[in-house]
Amino acid sequence: MEIAVAFALVVSAAPPAVAAPREPVRITRFLGEQRIPYMTRFEGTVVGGLSGIDRDPRTGTWYFISDDRARYNPARFYTGRLDIDRVTGGFTGVRLTGVKTLTRPDGTPFPGYGQAESADPESIRLDRWSGRLLWGDEGDRPDTRNPNIPISGAAVRGMDMNGRQVGEFPIPQNLRLTSEETGPRRNSGFEGLAVSARAITAVTEGPRFEDGPVPTAERGSATRLTVWNRQGRPRAQYAYPLDRLPAPPNPPTGQADSGVSELLPIDEFRYLALERSWIEGVNYRVKLYEIDLRGATNVLDRGSLAHGGAYRPVTKRLVHDLGDFRPPVQNLESMSWGPRLASGECTLVIGSDDNFDEREVTQFMAFATTGCS
């Protein structure tokens, strides 16, 4: 596997030393917000559905991936700049500089929504250790509301800077999409992706059928976080405890959707996680958590989280309820570290996916933080 070979060449075999306890991540100040107007056109494409962002710390280039599934244009990613003043922290602008179509190994675009082998891009990461981009594909499958949707497997893929696929990680059997009530539910596949020096980590948005029902206002649930080593092999899975819904739907029979929408590494054990809910009659609710894998049970070989005995999930600490900054809270799906400020604070950028819906916005919020690595 080409991408795994590249990883294996740049990582030493020695395990890291046990790190001393570190300060937890805290938001110290809100730096501002920038938006891309609805249905902005750029180089022949419609800008929207931005579900993942990342930044190259060497060049300052930002990457934005769109989950447009050929509604307007083929699956694609953009490059651009976010203007954040390193001295004052002022967040003053966002601009796009390029766009690339995501293509398969043969150079052809991925098929659109409702077709076999379609792609649903939900996260993008620059892998500084291999010099390539990685992206998470949620995949698709039939369900009771959409019985004719063909199966398109969830994936974590590597691509070059022109968007061409150059590798793919093996997916554990328990995360493969099926046409039965097994594996991940529809729209609950890979949603968050994180890359560090020693691992690639992806989280599914919501629970597998075998791991229990989806969250309600009365109880939470659990989803799975998968860790691959640099040779491309699944190393572990951990249970992520999902909150119960922050409010019941209105009307009570209304719909709701809740889960993890993005993941960002702090160090080799700790991550930031966006936990997002959409609730009919309530709108979006999003919380930012710090999670820690240390001490959690490896559930890679466990068939069910709902049955089969006790296990220890990852630990969670609330960093902030994100509805406080620019209400009403939007469909927050992307997250990346930005430049470090002269004060020593890190910047954290969190973005929203407008779903190509004029009632929603493409928004980027910037924060100063402490406790980052």
| Host domain of residue 85 | 2-10+22-370
* 17 within domain boundaries: no
The answer to the question of residue 366 being in a domain is: yes
Report pLDDT for 22. Answer: 83
Q: The tokens of 218 are what?
A: 């009365």
The answer as to whether 15 is a domain residue is no
Q: Read off the DSSP letter of residue 8.
A: H
CATH number at residue 150: 2.115.10
The residues, any chain, with a CB within 8 Å of residue 151's CB and separated by 6 or more, are 116, 139, 140, 141, 142, 177, 178, 179
Helix (H) or strand (E) holding 165, with range, is strand 165-168
In whole angstroms, what is the distance from residue 320 CA to residue 149 CA? 37
pLDDT at 18: 46
Phi/psi at 94 (nearest 5 deg)?
-140, 135
Would you state the pLDDT for residue 20? 56
Q: In the prediction, which pLDDT does 12 show?
A: 32
- Report the pLDDT value the prediction gives residue 154, as an integer from 0 to 100: 96
pTM for the full predicted model: 0.94
Q: How many domains does the chain have?
A: 1
- How many Å apart are CA 278 and CA 319, to the nearest integer? 20
How far apart (Å, rounded) are the C-alpha atoms in residues 132 and 200? Answer: 13
* Ordered per-residue pLDDT tens for the chain, 373 residues: 334 433 332 333 333 344 456 899 999 999 999 999 999 999 999 999 999 999 999 999 999 999 999 999 999 999 999 999 999 999 999 999 999 999 999 999 999 999 999 999 999 999 999 999 999 999 999 999 999 999 999 999 999 999 999 999 999 999 999 999 999 999 999 999 999 999 999 999 999 999 999 999 999 999 999 999 998 999 999 999 999 999 999 999 999 999 999 999 999 999 999 999 999 999 999 999 999 999 999 999 999 999 989 999 999 999 999 998 989 999 999 999 999 999 999 999 999 999 999 999 999 999 999 999 7
